[in-house]
């Protein structure tokens, strides 16, 4: 199976690889996937508490090229968005942008889950109710 | 100048040796006869060529030419052997013993027979990939008609204790079938010394053409018979009907002859390169060689690089190097290699494995390139791996409550 140019580009030059201080109140961390499934994503957002804008986003991913590309692209999209806008990022947008084939859709689902999980972590730390998301079948 | 891409997937298939192609060409055009045409020279020429190839193939494994049944490949050979024995020896019993790391052509054939009434024991392997002879002995029953254990494994290259397995089968009155695909032509295989009753193997794993294989069926001590699985003209002593693939068989014969004459020199050269590769890659932290290193094919190395995922790893160099991974990220099941899991490897290590399969045309320059490319990619991906970060921080990854998908 051949990878799309965009997947190859994100894989070769991943954006925003790194770690934010997960103890910080302004940082939300999402860790999703499982080693035995061959995919683990950790996505972190840094939120400006005054404006609710995501000022930074970082990821680390264990997985195939599509999983790395999905998380790399997700961090790009998160930066500059408000938390409320970030919630709306849909996995199918990632699929479309990266031209992921059907067998790789789960990588985009995982990235969406990571975003939501990071947002909920941030909300929890700041005394807000966790958002309830529809259960997804992967 | 190093020519890219580099092929290191010789357990999947091998390039054809130019000497093989040369031998085959006349049998496509001038000598196109049907080997079963008994009444004209076209047929005689074809038959003569097939007979010669049958001798070449037989010689490689120490068999009599009459014991060679040409097939379309090893999948057919596996099916014909197992189903053929099950049918032929139905009056003696219905129990078959095999092991969990067999090729799908063996495992799925056994599963098929289970639906028809066979009782199949799937032996586990030990962490080094070898079967436990005591467990085999314990599994033998009066109804056991067949022990089907591969000679060498396709994913990790471990070579099973074939002689001992054969002795146990014989002692209990069962036949011993072995899938010899990965071993024949690579290491010395002698059906008499090894005590093999039936063996499937194929040309394209030994620098011959695709679409042609052979089944060795013993004729003496004991005389073995398998029930044909295709009805037709009764070719190949009635065990495998169908017009013989003459050019393919000629190529197979040539490939077998070259394998026999060049084996010692090839093995010496290739195993040195394999060891160089393996020793260099073992220098990477948290890398593990899978399978028993002492009982192994000389051209294979299967290595897990913990905390990076195999498919992601291959992407780092797959435009330059062709090899296989035990990760099955592309399959719908997301299940990693069942062979590696059978060794008791955790899913994380199974997902993180690469299989290096060297061959006749592999050069030292290619190996040096591969060492560098793989090392660089592992290090790069670990910088990107949350699991590596946790490992470095001393977090016990197994203690984390992972959300399973």
Nearest residue of chain B to residue A41 (CA atoms): B386
- Put simply, the answer to whether B402 touches A35 (Cβ < 8 Å) is yes
> Is residue B220 over pLDDT 70?
yes
- pLDDT score for B350: 86
The residue annotated as part of the active site, out of A54, A83, A98, A107, is A107
A70 contact residues in B (CB cutoff 8 A): none
Cα angle B373, B377, B383; round to 5: 155
Nearest residue of chain A to residue B309 (CA atoms): A63
CB atoms inside a 10 Å sphere around CB B333: 6
Using a CB–CB cutoff of 8 Å, tell me whether A87 touches chain B.
no
Nearest residue of chain B to residue A136 (CA atoms): B405
As a whole number, the mean pLDDT across chain B is: 95
Q: Which CATH number fits domain B6-11+263-393: 3.90.1150.10, 3.40.630.30, 3.30.70.270, 3.90.340.10?
A: 3.90.1150.10
CA distance B275 to B375: 16
Domains of chain A with CATH codes: 5-125 (3.90.1010.10)
Tokens representing B113 are: 């027979």
Summarised one tens digit per residue, pLDDT across range A101-114 is: 998 999 999 999 99
Is B329 a residue of the active site?
A: yes
- Put simply, the answer to whether A65 touches B312 (Cβ < 8 Å) is yes
Confidence grade of residue A1 (pLDDT, cut at 50, 70, 90): low
* Reported ipTM exceeds the 0.85 cut: yes
In the predicted model, what is the mean pLDDT of residues B63-82?
98
Is A107 a residue of the active site?
A: yes
> Minimal CA–CA distance to B95: which of B30, B144, B59?
B144
> Is residue A48 over pLDDT 80?
yes
The residue annotated as part of the active site, out of B329, B373, B379, B390, is B329
As a whole number, the mean pLDDT across chain A is: 92
CA distance B396 to B21: 55
- pTM for the predicted model, two decimal places: 0.92
Which of B308, B403, B405 minimises the CB distance to A62?
B308
- Put simply, the answer to whether B336 touches A38 (Cβ < 8 Å) is yes
The answer to whether B62 and B193 have CB atoms below 8 angstroms apart is: yes
CA distance B71 to B239: 10
> Is residue A136 over pLDDT 70?
no
In the predicted model, what is the mean pLDDT of residues B266-285?
98
Summarised one tens digit per residue, pLDDT across range B24-65 is: 999 999 999 999 999 999 999 999 999 999 999 999 999 999
Summarised one tens digit per residue, pLDDT across range B204-215 is: 999 999 999 999
Gap from A5 CA to chain B (nearest CA, Å): 12
B349 contact residues in A (CB cutoff 8 A): none
SS3 A45: strand
CATH fold of B18-259, please? 3.40.640
- pLDDT score for B328: 55
Summarised one tens digit per residue, pLDDT across range B83-126 is: 999 999 999 999 999 999 999 999 999 999 999 999 999 999 99
In the predicted model, what is the mean pLDDT of residues A36-52?
93
Ordered by start, the domain boundaries in chain B are: 6-11+263-393, 18-259
Strands (E) located in chain A: 27-34, 39-48, 53-62
- Put simply, the answer to whether A64 touches B329 (Cβ < 8 Å) is yes
> Minimal CA–CA distance to B174: which of B254, B72, B89?
B89
Confidence grade of residue B330 (pLDDT, cut at 50, 70, 90): very low
Express as a percent the part of chain B with pLDDT over 90. Answer: 91
């Amino acid at each position: 199976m051949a990878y799309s140019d965009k997947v190859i580009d994100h894989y070769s030059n991943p954006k925003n690889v790194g770690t934010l201080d997960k103890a910080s109140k302004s940082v939300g961390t999402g860790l999703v996937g499982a080693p035995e499934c061959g995919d683990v994503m950790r996505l972190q957002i840094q939120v400006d508490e005054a404006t609710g804008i995501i000022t930074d986003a970082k990821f680390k991913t264990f997985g195939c090229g599509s999983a790395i590309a999905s998380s790399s692209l997700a961090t790009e999209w998160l930066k500059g968005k408000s938390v409320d806008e970030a919630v709306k990022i849909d996995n199918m947008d990632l699929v479309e942008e990266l031209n992921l084939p059907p067998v790789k859709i789960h990588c985009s689902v995982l990235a969406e889950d990571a975003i939501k999980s990071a947002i909920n972590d941030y909300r929890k730390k700041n005394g807000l109710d966790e958002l309830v998301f529809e259960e997804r079948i992967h | 100048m190093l020519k890219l891409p580099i092929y290191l997937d010789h357990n999947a298939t091998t390039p054809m040796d130019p000497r093989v192609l040369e031998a085959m060409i006349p049998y496509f055009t001038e000598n196109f006869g049907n080997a079963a045409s008994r009444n004209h020279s076209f047929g005689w020429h074809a038959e003569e060529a097939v007979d010669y190839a049958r001798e070449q193939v037989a010689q490689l494994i120490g068999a009599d030419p009459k014991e060679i049944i040409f097939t379309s490949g090893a999948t057919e050979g596996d099916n014909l052997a197992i189903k053929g024995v099950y049918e032929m020896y139905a009056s003696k019993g219905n129990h078959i013993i095999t092991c969990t790391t067999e090729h799908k052509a063996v495992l799925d054939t056994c599963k098929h027979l289970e639906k028809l009434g066979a009782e199949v024991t799937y032996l586990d392997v030990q962490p080094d990939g070898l079967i436990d002879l005591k467990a085999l002995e314990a599994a033998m029953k009066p109804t056991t008609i067949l022990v089907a254990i591969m000679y060498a494994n396709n994913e990790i290259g471990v070579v099973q204790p074939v002689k001992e397995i054969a002795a146990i089968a014989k002692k209990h009155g069962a036949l011993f079938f072995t899938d010899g695909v990965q071993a024949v032509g690579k290491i010395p295989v002698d059906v008499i010394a090894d005590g093999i009753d039936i063996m499937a193997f194929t040309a394209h794993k030994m620098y011959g053409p695709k679409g042609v294989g052979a089944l060795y069926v013993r004729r003496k001590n004991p005389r073995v018979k398998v029930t044909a699985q295709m009805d037709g003209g009764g070719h190949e002593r009635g065990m495998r009907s169908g017009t013989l693939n003459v050019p393919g068989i000629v190529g197979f014969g040539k490939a077998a002859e070259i394998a026999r004459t060049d084996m010692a020199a090839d093995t010496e050269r290739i195993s040195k390169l394999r060891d160089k590769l393996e020793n260099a890659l073992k220098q990477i932290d948290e890398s593990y060689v899978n399978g028993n290193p002492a009982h192994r094919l000389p051209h294979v190395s299967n290595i897990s690089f913990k905390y990076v995922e195999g498919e992601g790893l291959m992407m780092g160099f797959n435009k330059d190097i062709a090899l296989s991974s035990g990760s099955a990220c592309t399959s719908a099941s997301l299940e990693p290699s069942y062979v590696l899991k059978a060794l008791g490897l955790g899913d994380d290590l199974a997902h993180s494995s690469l299989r290096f399969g060297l061959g006749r045309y592999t050069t030292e320059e290619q190996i040096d390139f591969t060492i560098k490319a793989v090392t660089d990619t592992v290090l790069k991906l670990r910088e990107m791996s949350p699991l590596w970060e946790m490992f470095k921080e001393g977090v016990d990854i197994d203690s984390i409550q992972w959300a399973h998908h």
